[in-house]
Amino acid sequence: MGHSFEGVATLLGYTFGVSSAGIALTDGVLFLLITVNTIARVESYYPSLSSAIALTFSIITIALSLFLVRGALWIWRFQVFGGALNLSLGFVLVIIAYGVVSFVFSQIVNSALNDFLLVSYVLASAFSITSGLLGSMALREQLSRRFERASGSSMFKVKVSVDGALREVEVSGNTTGGDLKEKVCKIEGISKENARLLFGGKAVSDSVNLKEIGAGEGDQFTLIKK
């Protein structure tokens, strides 16, 4: 039941995160085009304060959409970190939506377009917050474990796949990628220099601590022989 909930929450968090990013990007680009057009028609090369603020809202929204995509990807891999990011970005979008209410009417004369922008900003905010909550809920135990291991002193076990076989190794948050690789290489009887360690499909540096990459109890690494 727990695994089923985690899987559904992860998928929904990822979906809401990507959806929020798409809506935010559309809003940001549209608002940017409208403001630039207003400046070109009315204010020449010297935008008014309201137009400058509108431009700022547009650029921030576009930047947020890129971070929302990253947050959604983090939800897919590290639910807690991606959830926290998208939750915070959702609240930022709420603030931007409030700002849009203040400035949009001075930039856009079409009421339907006004309504579209305001509603879509609210939707982007809601989707982002929902994505953050689902991502953070997906691995509730992982969140508490990582706070408990903030010092890196607690011991836990990870799995390392070597040629399809799983090896269980006891480590701590302060264990480096090089330390873990050396432990497994000793078990396998191979040289540390002739192996690469992967986590989540990415190479793990010999100098990085496991706590820095968010490794926790039961997580799986892959050791590739060169």
Looking at residue 2, its pLDDT comes to 44
The CA distance from 168 to 13, in Å, is 30
Tell me: do 127 and 44 sit in the same domain.
yes
Cα angle vertex 6, ends 72, 86, to 5°?
Answer: 25
The CA distance from 164 to 123, in Å, is 45
Q: How confident is the model at residue 21 (pLDDT cuts 50, 70, 90)?
A: very high
Find the mean pLDDT for residues 74-96. 85
Tell me: do 173 and 76 sit in the same domain.
no
pLDDT tens-place string over residues 139-191? 665 555 555 544 445 778 888 988 888 888 888 878 888 888 888 888 888 88
Specify the CATH number for the domain of residue 186.
3.10.20.90
| Number of domains forming the structure of the chain | 2
Answer yes or no: are the C-beta atoms of 65 and 31 closer than 8 Å. Answer: no
Lowest mean pLDDT: which of 119-128, 147-156, 190-199? 147-156
Tell me: do 16 and 116 sit in the same domain.
yes
> Residues 36-44: contacts with CB within 8 Å, 24+ apart?
38/107
Q: Does residue 112 carry a pLDDT above 50?
A: yes
The CA distance from 214 to 102, in Å, is 41
Q: What is the mean pLDDT of the chain?
A: 82
Of residues 37, 176, 202, the one with CA closest to residue 109: 37
The boundaries of the domain holding residue 71 are 2-143
The residue among 112, 143, 174 that closes a domain is: 143
